[in-house]
Amino acid sequence: MTSKVIQSVRGMHGLVPGIAAQYSEIQKKAVGVIQSYAYDEIQLPLLEYTDLFARGVGESTDIVEKEMYSLDDRDGVSLSLRPEGTAGCVRALEENGLLYNQTQKIFYTGPMFRYEKPQKGRYRQFNQIGVESYGFKGPDIDLELLLMMRDILSELDISSEVSLEINNLGSVESRHAYRLALIEYLEPLRSKLDEDSQRRLSSNPLRILDSKNAQTQDLLLNAPRLDDYSDDDSRDSFAELCALLDGQGQNYVINPFLVRGLDYYTDCVFEWKAKGIGAQNTICAGGRYDGLVGKLGGRETPAIGFAIGLERLVLAVEQTQDQLPVIGSADVYVCMLGESLLSRAIELGAQIRQRKADLKVRVHMGGGNLKKQFKKADTSGAKWALLIGEEEIEKNMVSLKDLRDSTTGQTMLSLEEAIQKIVVNKS
Ligand code: HAM
């Protein structure tokens, strides 16, 4: 009797070989841009105390209320898989004294976990590339982060597919005043609101502005405007940011209904949206969160950041290309005429790696005739097969074959010459 194959957890599908390499390549390009702005990497644990997210992201947010993967450890302490990286960054920097009298510019990558309803572009385990900065009041840093994302889009050749929306949420105090005004306006209309918005009216009324329900959206047309409640400092800083963006030729739309699903935001918030990837089209989102460090027990510190959803970024890149480039496992495949040459073939592999560390070298395993070895070489994605037989060994040479050009045969060369040819014609 064969046992039943165990499936992956719903919404957590991982990436198979080949596809994983394509994701890594795209992430590498994005991280390359971030590093070119001299941001330092930080690595965060997957598990944190649940309290960090309850206090940081906000008790009444969907993320904390309904979407966290929480567990009690053996001491009965509640821990949660991180649903996002910002709260963890603040915790880590504060705990290590790295926010005291200094500024920080950091980035992180890795999986986040949210119990959401899975669909295209929305998963229960997904990857973020996050960027955070601390100690800068802005709007210079706000501009830098937006230009950094612009450069990432340009590096991936998808600038024309993505647009930027921004909004000003104002200070914590002005948002509080706006919250009260919004409740006062919506309370008499409660029964006409969609179900989610009715619930949010008591817990998180600003999120109602985000509702996709047409009737709710109609009701919001005459609602008080967030902008009218904003304080002068915040409004000036936002206007300055807009002028800086204009100066840099960066297009944007001010969306007064743009509010974020996490409680820590203040002042400027933004979302980058991609065309043609479905309903979950925000590929990057973020904003200022000047109150969070204080809320988590540190000294008040200005902060701003964003996170890119890697899966959505890949969808956006896929949109613009028929197919993502196939990334072969190997560049060079070493074959041998007879199993007695295995040790020599392994040595040859090691020699190539030593001389050219960036070449991916696979030595044939599992025996078989040359036809079988070349077939394996072909499926490895390698452009080059390196072959050794008695003759090659005697002459201290190797035979090189271009697997992607059937018009050329094998050439006998010294190892040095072969490596040179491989490097020049890599891919
Ligand atoms: P967020 O808007 O919750 O913000 O997530 C940022 C991005 O992660 C989203 O725009 C989206 O691309 C991706 N994302 C979120 N949830 C999912 C999901 N279930 N499946 C696939 N992708 C998803 C934050 O997480 C903030 N920490 C961003 C930030 C950093 N703000 C300041 N600093």
Q: What is the pLDDT of residues 366-415, one digit of tens each?
A: 999 999 999 999 999 999 999 999 999 999 999 999 999 988 889 999 99
Pocket-forming residues, ligand 1, beta carbon under 6 Å: 84-86, 114, 116, 121-123, 126, 128, 130, 132, 261-262, 282-287, 289, 305-307, 309, 311-312
Tell me which residue has tokens 């040859």.
Answer: 348
Closest CA to ligand 1's atom 11: 309
Closest CA to ligand 1's atom 13: 309
Q: How many residues does the structure list for the chain?
A: 427
Mutate to test the pocket of ligand 1, among 23, 105, 108, 126 (most ligand atoms within 8 A of CB): 126
pLDDT band at 326 (very low <50, low <70, confident <90, very high): confident
pLDDT at 397: 95
Dist CA 284 CA 149 (whole Å): 8
Give the nearest ligand 1 atom to 262 CA.
3
pLDDT at 227: 85
Q: For residue 67, is pLDDT > 70?
A: yes
pLDDT at 118: 97
Q: Give the pLDDT mean for 192-211.
A: 89
**Is the bond preceding residue 111 a cis peptide, omega within 30 degrees?**
no
Both tokens of 121, joined, read 């572009």
Is the alpha carbon torsion for 409, 411, 415, 417 positive or negative?
negative
pLDDT at 314: 97
50 Cα–ligand 1 center, Å: 18
Q: Give the pLDDT mean for 7-33.
A: 96
Q: For residue 356, is pLDDT > 90?
A: no
pLDDT at 427: 52
pLDDT at 211: 87
Mutate to test the pocket of ligand 1, among 84, 166, 281 (most ligand atoms within 8 A of CB): 84
Mutate to test the pocket of ligand 1, among 134, 265, 282, 290 (most ligand atoms within 8 A of CB): 282
Q: Give the pLDDT mean for 127-140.
A: 96
103 Cα–ligand 1 center, Å: 24
pLDDT at 85: 98
pLDDT tens string 284-315 = 999 999 999 999 999 999 999 999 999 999 99
Strand order in the sheet with 266-274: 40-41, 104-113, 125-134, 303-309, 282-288, 266-274, 162-168, 253-254
Instruction: List helix spans (H) across 96-221.
Output: 140-155, 172-186, 195-203, 214-220
pLDDT at 23: 97
24 Cα–ligand 1 center, Å: 18
Q: Do 379 and 362 contact (CB within 8 A), yes or no?
A: no
Both tokens of 412, joined, read 């006998």
Q: For residue 174, is pLDDT > 90?
A: no
Give the percent of the chain with pLDDT over 70.
Answer: 99
109 Cα–ligand 1 center, Å: 12
pLDDT at 379: 92
Give the nearest ligand 1 atom to 313 CA.
12
Dist CA 306 CA 286 (whole Å): 4
Torsion from C-alpha of 153, 158, 160, 165, nearest 10 degrees? -50
Closest CA to ligand 1's atom 32: 305
Enter the pTM of the model.
0.92
Q: For residue 204, is pLDDT > 80?
A: yes
Give the nearest ligand 1 atom to 86 CA.
27
386 Cα–ligand 1 center, Å: 46
pLDDT band at 32 (very low <50, low <70, confident <90, very high): very high
Give the nearest ligand 1 atom to 84 CA.
25
At residue 204, what is the residue type?
Answer: N
Phi then psi dihedrals of residue 359, to 5 deg: -85, 135
3-state secondary structure of 275: coil
309 Cα–ligand 1 center, Å: 6
Dist CA 232 CA 168 (whole Å): 12
Closest CA to ligand 1's atom 12: 309
Mutate to test the pocket of ligand 1, among 112, 126, 128 (most ligand atoms within 8 A of CB): 128
Q: Give the pLDDT mean for 86-109.
A: 97
